Structure 1
Amino acid sequence: MTTRSASLADLPFVYQCLCDLEEMVLDKVAFGAVFERNLANPTVHYVLAEADNQLVGFASCHVQALLHHAGLVGEIQEMYVLPDWRSQGVGQQLVEHFMDLARRENWVHLEVTSNRRRTQTHRFYERIGFVQPSLKFVWKGEFKV
């Protein structure tokens, strides 16, 4: 199993992964625009896992300098492993890719947010060393004019 950075050619696979993760059909045009813009952003890392000459997983990590950490913090925003490849080390390899990047770039933290309903995912992150020191709150209002 290997990991590599995503490219624009990987858009169809990443789109399907995120639709599956979110359990909904995402706006394909808007998704593509965000994907392309983020590929050009050096603080956004899109990583794919490959096994047996096929794509089997995707993860993204956004890095920002945060005052309350006095340094760079990476946050895993999305991670999806194809169902047939779960529990085979794919997710851990994707996370380890970001951990290696964190060491090379001197991040002070690596964080992840996961939907409350994804209890198996929570156990995965706890098993590989993540802890839950805080809660995240999301405003449910709209910003549309």
Structure 2
Amino acid sequence: MGDLDIRPAAEGDIPEIVAMLADDPLGAQRETPNDLAPYRAALERLSTDPLQHVIVAVRCDRVVGTLQLTIVPGLSRRGSTRSIIEGVRVHADERGNGLGSRLIEWAVDRSRSEGCQLVQLTSDASRTDAHRFYERLGFTASHVGFKLSL
């Protein structure tokens, strides 16, 4: 798999992150790679929150993967802390070589170190390949999710 560095995302990574977020039919509808200002503002806000971890995987000075991990303290489940994995993307050139698994392993390990008792994620209903990937990693499709756009 070659040398791989997993590190916090920096402002200079934003164009590559957004390009990966936009590189599928759903992302192409939601993301705006031609206007990076909202992404810069979001990363600045996230970077100051100790419960947020936006990371990138870098190989040969090139961002090839990303995800966001959010730590959520809670009252339910006997006061459990959980984590939420969002925005998992692997560059098209890197798919199928284990990078996605490495990113999820990083997120699960970090969740454990943060005292989480549960790791959760959502995946759009149309992303059946992603669903199989998460199931192979031990996740179960246990809930029905709902969203309300504001």
TM-score where L is the length of structure 2:
0.86
Q: Which of 10, 13, 31 is residue 13 of structure 2 equivalent to? A: 10
The answer to which of 24-33 and 86-95 deviates more is 24-33
1:95 aligned residue = 104
1:36-75 matches, within 5 Å, as 36-69=44-77, 70-75=79-84
TM-score where L is the length of structure 1:
0.88
Provide the identity percentage.
28
**1:65: how far off?**
0.9
1:38 & 1:95 partners in 2: Cα distance?
19
2:113 aligned residue = 104
1:12 & 1:48 partners in 2: Cα distance?
12
On the 8 A contact 2:56/2:66 being kept in 1, the answer is yes
Give unpaired runs (5+ residues) of structure 1. none
The number of equivalent residue pairs is 141
Q: Does 1:121 align with 2:126?
A: no
**1:71: how far off?**
1.8
**1:74: how far off?**
0.7
On the 8 A contact 2:82/2:118 being kept in 1, the answer is yes
Q: Does 1:19 align with 2:28?
A: no
**1:51: how far off?**
2.4
Give the root-mean-square deviation of aligned CA atoms.
1.6
1:113 & 1:123 partners in 2: Cα distance?
13
